[in-house]
Structure 1
Amino acid sequence: MIIQEIRSLFAVAPKPYRAATFQDPPTFCHVSRPFRHDSCPHRNRWAIDGTDLATIRRRLVGEWDHPRMHGWVAELGEEREIVGVIRGCIKTVTCGKKLPRSARNATDDPTTTKAAVPVYTKAAYILGLRVSLPHRRMGIGLRLVRRLESWFASMGAEYAYMATDSDNSPSLSLFTRRLSYQNFRTPSILVHPVHPHHDLSLSKNVQILSLPPLEAESLYRRLLSTTEFFPRDIDSVLQNKLNLGTFLALPSDTNFANMESFLSLPPESWAVLSVWNSKDVFRLQVRGASKLKKMCAKMSRVFDRLFPWLMIPSVPEVFRPFGLYFLYGLGGEGTAKVRLIRALCKMAHNMARKGGCGVVATEVGVLEPLRAGVPHWARFSCEEDLWCVKRLGEDYSDGSVGDWTKSAPGASIFVDPRDF
């Protein structure tokens, strides 16, 4: 039935769908760019610049050679014009937490989280669904998603999830109405411009340490592994070439001998985050601004360049393609954690300025306690990024968690920088 339906839609192309290869990225950019100007308030305001095809190709070559990354394309006509693309990956992430049996027997309080260990599940992430504008409303996107879901299931994935804007009606209609996805989490994307002519001042009461990848992995696994969506292959993330480092902020009077002593007895207050170089993966561009707004932004940069000591919050050149650094793995404890995470964000801003970026961005849970310490401009940010999820199989990863789609949201969420 489905094959007949496909052939009736693409009469000239006997095989309209095929697995994607690393030769396809130039066409991906061509398919994606014409419809980055829809009514969606956030993602489509930031248009992807598809001119640096070599960079995109280099990234996708490695990804598609990996058995857990897969893509499909839809072709039309004898010339096999690509009119739709989709990409997805499978990874093992945290979906809950539980007490190990030894800790459960050692305490009368079953709600304690001190000895909690993560419960993992195999989750599939859908990204990059694109259908060219003239070929929409023809069922192409639906078939692409279903083919990708079939591959997810064959690889043993238990859940599939995707992210979109809460105002993106076509995407929500496709996934929630026709494909039975459920609204799951609503994190916020917080964006702060990089002021091109001055660094942000850092507090002298805060010391910032750069952690080697192995120490960063130990910290994340020991203190943040029970955070929802925490990737079990965090070592691969931290050792990736795009990872610019993991940084630990402490009060200036705090001392510890080594990471093991820090983990065994953490100080009263601490904060951590990592910086990801998205600038070498894609570029963004703000479009549709009036000439008046462009002139005001330019004047702010002029004054910032002439009087850098005033630290004027100038607007970077976002009307041309620019890059960003993404902040992920935010965590912290203690009464000073908000102040410490703010210092880390300022340090990341200064790193981004030296790296030639236009903005720094992060994505946090709606109840994230560190959110108050993340500087951001509301105009550039998205307060409600909608994540939708679907259970692919009847079996669950762990009986103590049950159906993840029905679980209550936690305070924090771990956003994998590879998915941003």
Structure 2
Amino acid sequence: MREYDPNRDRERVEEVERICEVGPSGKLCIFTDLLGDPICRVRHSPSFLMLVAEIGDEIVGMIRGCIKTITCGNSNRHLPVYAKVAYILGLRVSPSHRRMGIGLKLVHRMEAWFRDNGAEYSYMATENDNLASVKLFTDKCGYTKFRTPSILVNPVFAHRLTLSPKVKIIHLTPSQAETIYRRRFATTEFFPRDIDAVLNNKLSIGTFLAVPDSATWQGTDHFLSDPPKSWAILSIWNSKELFTLQVRGASRVKRTLAKTTRVVDKALPFLRLPSFPDFFRPFGFHFMYGIGGEGPEAVKMVKSLCDFAHNVAKERDCGAVVTEVSGQEPLRFGIPHWKMLSCPEDLWCIKRLGEDYSDGSVGDWTKSPPRISIFVDPREV
């Protein structure tokens, strides 16, 4: 097992990815094309590593990991309590070399790198029904089931959505967005300490604030000291530049029905039918992150922001708009999505790596109850 070398490993790693992405027979599955960059999903993280497992000249497995500093759960404080946390993703083992302990060895080697770099916790995400992955991490690696956020996917239709005339949408500068996020959301679970790096990243399309149409924008300080009765905020990340997705396993009947909706929508656009995009070919998506808001009309404000994000994605030729929020997030009711494409419970598992903590009063975060909101870092989508 060794560190990934792009010059000698890229093609062999891509081959293992293709072999591993074989979905269950008769079911719809989503396949990922990393566009020739196996580390694209961690490249923008503060610190990252990719390991490969090799037997002779054959690569038989790989794993990716990254480290960042985030807010950990402590509902009794008004100030953020930070912890250095590691994230595991993209664990793959060639089907011909499974049940040989390769996956377990890759996880242990990655955790050693985490510890060497001061990480206090390690976590990973997987589908609830991925029993092999869940069993590996919970039974053999010492992880516990931690959070079950919802992945919400909304197609980008052939027509623009009409925005509410009662809502004004303001495009914030990265500096303005950082100030609002740090003042209002810094205690949200998994909030990244380097939010400024996220907002200033070239893949961050922008941050948008929704306020009543009657409200006037007089700058960040005025907004924070005297916010409108209701408001909402979200940021958009351009995942299309990193990788594409494709739905496979659909029957000919389903493909035909989907195509029919597009044909009818194109012929009769004034009906504004919710046609099904061509997800059976590779498509890109935008990821909405940092969703938050306050007030009795906050859900409606979020709905307007999501409609705005849909139109931005349409202009950039994306197939979908995606987000991930806590299952207890009240604002999720304002996020449009298709149930057939979404995942109501994405499973996050976590492990405590050491005994030394940045703040001993936090206790063991792995045993803390879920909080209302969660901040999903777009650099790890």
Match of 1:168 in 2: 130
Q: Report the Cα offset of residue 49 of structure 1.
A: 2.2
Q: Which has the larger radius of gyration?
A: 1
Asked whether the equivalents of residues 246 and 273 of structure 1 are also in contact (C-alpha less than 8 Å), the reply is yes
Is 1:31 paired with 2:10? no
Asked whether the equivalents of residues 30 and 248 of structure 2 are also in contact (C-alpha less than 8 Å), the reply is yes
Change (3 A) 1:391 1:41: farther
Distance in structure 1 (CA, Å) of the matches to 2:137 and 2:39: 30
Asked whether the equivalents of residues 84 and 120 of structure 2 are also in contact (C-alpha less than 8 Å), the reply is yes
Q: Report the Cα offset of residue 26 of structure 1.
A: 3.3
Q: 1:85 aligns with which of 51, 56, 62?
A: 62
Asked whether the equivalents of residues 84 and 129 of structure 1 are also in contact (C-alpha less than 8 Å), the reply is yes
Is 1:72 paired with 2:33? no
Match of 1:139 in 2: 101
Q: Report the Cα offset of residue 328 of structure 1.
A: 0.6
Distance in structure 1 (CA, Å) of the matches to 2:43 and 2:367: 35
* Letter aligned with residue 307 of structure 2: K
Is 1:95 paired with 2:72? yes
Q: 2:142 aligns with which of 180, 188, 211?
A: 180
Distance in structure 1 (CA, Å) of the matches to 2:364 and 2:259: 52
Asked whether the equivalents of residues 42 and 65 of structure 2 are also in contact (C-alpha less than 8 Å), the reply is no
Name the stretch that deviates more: 165-174 or 260-269.
Answer: 260-269
Change (3 A) 1:276 1:73: same
1:89-144 CA-partner distances (Å, limit 9, x unpaired)? 1100000347xxxxxxxxxxxx6x7xx11100000000111111111111110000
Is 1:130 paired with 2:101? no
Q: Report the Cα offset of residue 21 of structure 1.
A: 2.8
Match of 1:101 in 2: none
Distance in structure 1 (CA, Å) of the matches to 2:358 and 2:365: 9
Q: TM-score, normalised by structure 2?
A: 0.96
Distance in structure 1 (CA, Å) of the matches to 2:252 and 2:213: 46
Change (3 A) 1:288 1:41: closer
Distance in structure 2 (CA, Å) of the matches to 1:25 and 1:418: 21
- Aligned CA RMSD, in angstroms, stands at 1.9
Asked whether the equivalents of residues 212 and 228 of structure 2 are also in contact (C-alpha less than 8 Å), the reply is no
Q: What does residue range 258-273 of structure 1 map to in structure 2 within 5 Å?
A: 258-273=219-234
Match of 1:9 in 2: none
Q: What does residue range 144-163 of structure 1 map to in structure 2 within 5 Å?
A: 144-163=106-125
Other structure's SS at 2:68 match: strand
Q: Which runs of 5+ in 1 are unaligned?
A: 1-16, 99-110
Distance in structure 1 (CA, Å) of the matches to 2:185 and 2:350: 22
Q: What does residue range 209-288 of structure 1 map to in structure 2 within 5 Å?
A: 209-288=170-249
Distance in structure 1 (CA, Å) of the matches to 2:183 and 2:337: 29
1:265-319 CA-partner distances (Å, limit 9, x unpaired)? 2221100000010111011000000111101110111111111121100000100
Q: TM-score, normalised by structure 1?
A: 0.87
Q: Percent identity?
A: 55
Match of 1:373 in 2: 334
Distance in structure 1 (CA, Å) of the matches to 2:252 and 2:276: 14
Match of 2:345 in 1: 384
Change (3 A) 1:165 1:183: same
Other structure's SS at 2:227 match: coil
Other structure's SS at 1:400 match: helix
Superposed structure 1 runs of 4+ greater than 6 Å apart: none
State how many pairs are aligned: 380
* Letter aligned with residue 14 of structure 2: C
1:172-206 CA-partner distances (Å, limit 9, x unpaired)? 111000011000000000001111x2011100000
* Letter aligned with residue 226 of structure 2: L
* Letter aligned with residue 88 of structure 2: I
Q: Report the Cα offset of residue 45 of structure 1.
A: 1.3
Larger relative contact order (CA 8 Å, sep ≥ 6)? 2
Other structure's SS at 2:339 match: coil
* Letter aligned with residue 180 of structure 1: G
Q: Report the Cα offset of residue 376 of structure 1.
A: 0.4
1:144-176 CA-partner distances (Å, limit 9, x unpaired)? 000000010011100000000111011011100
Distance in structure 2 (CA, Å) of the matches to 1:40 and 1:346: 35
Q: Report the Cα offset of residue 36 of structure 1.
A: 2.0
Distance in structure 1 (CA, Å) of the matches to 2:10 and 2:194: 26
Match of 1:322 in 2: 283
